[in-house]
Amino acid sequence: DLLVVGSANADLVIGVERRPGAGETVLGSDLAVHPGGKGANQAVAAARLGARTALLARVGDDAYGRLLLESQRAAGVDTVGVLVGGAPTGVALITVDPSGDNSIVVSPGANARLTPRDVRAATSLFHASRVVSAQLEIPVETVEEVVRILPPDTRFVLNPSPPRPLDTEVLAACDPLIVNEHEAKVLLGEAYEVASGPEDWARLLLAKGPRSVVVTLGAGGALVASSEGVVRVEAVAVDAVDTTGAGDSFTAALAWRLGAGASLAEAAACAARVGAVAVTRRGAQESFPTADEVEALRGG
Ligand code: ADP
């Protein structure tokens, strides 16, 4: 079973001709509200693939919190670990201009109130899980507590997004640490500037202590690095229409396959197919495929 520990946000999206400057008001399109947040996205992606999935997160006692709970339940996620109250549900205010560029303001809200104590209170969920997956849209102390209470035979997968420096215990627990280019750049700091390219990033990140590393490269696929060396995972060629949620669906699929006993390279190959389907559809959670849809892509 898979446990996702992370954020749940309502994404509030308005299309605009151009973004307002200071003191200015612009009119935009009708408001679209989507369930989002990396934790919520990963849980939905995994459940849709068929993984038995639970989410440990916090939402507000408000309409957006109910929307998030509803989207989790509709996907088949166990929401016993979704705590309610303490602050308003996290919100991302997103404006999108005609070229597709967006500006985003995030109010973490209840996500910032998911505490180490909440993690300790959910010990039974951890013991029921083969794989625990986390990101960094919740307090870093909460992720540190996850690593501390992790049962010895439970595997930990971390996508450090938004990226920030990680302490050695968290790094050492990652199997794998999953980063895109931006996250690799932040985690590597100055070493990024002198590195020769993605394979070098993977090796340098591995040297920081995780048991394994996956670097995702968008349409370039991914690299898997472990003590056995660096292996490339080819992307599946598709016509991408919207890459929102690609990384979340990739991580969820990887965690699902690892929980089923696949090797890291096998799991990453499956995750690349899942990410490829997700980019052929608009939106985040709406774009995540079922296992049958992933199978169909492989055949086609
Ligand atoms: P993030 O969304 O975190 O930036 P990436 O853009 O690297 O992550 O995407 C994650 C994975 O999804 C990639 O490793 C790849 O397997 C798949 N993917 C993303 N974009 C494409 C694309 N345009 N074509 C095919 N696969 C893609």
Coil, helix or strand at residue 263: coil
From the CA of 269, how far away is ligand 1's center (Å)? 12
DSSP, residue by residue, 52-64: -EEEEEEE-SSHH
User: Is 260 labeled as ligand-binding?
Assistant: no
Nearest CA to ligand 1 atom 19: 218
CB proximity list for 87: less than 8 A, separation 6 or greater: 58, 60, 109, 110, 112, 113
Per the prediction, the chain carries an average pLDDT of 96
CA dist list (Å): 194 to 92, 164, 197, 200, 256: 35, 20, 9, 9, 35
CB atoms within 10 A of CB 26: 12
Domains of the chain: 2-17+28-299 (3.40.1190.20)
Relative to the CA of 240, which ligand 1 atom is closest? 23
pLDDT < 70: residue spans in the chain = 298-300
User: Is 218 labeled as ligand-binding?
Assistant: yes
Nearest CA to ligand 1 atom 20: 218
Nearest CA to ligand 1 atom 18: 218
Determine if ligand 1 sits within 6 Å of the CB of residue 235: yes
User: Is 242 labeled as ligand-binding?
Assistant: yes
pTM of the model: 0.97
Q: In this predicted structure, what is the pLDDT of residue 277?
A: 97
Q: Which of 254, 274, 279, 297 has the most ligand 1 atoms within 8 A of CB, as the residue to mutate?
A: 279
Q: In this predicted structure, what is the pLDDT of residue 299?
A: 56
Query: In this prediction, does ipTM exceed 0.95?
Result: yes
Strand order in the sheet with 9-15: 32-36, 9-15, 90-96, 102-107
Q: Known catalytic residues?
A: 248
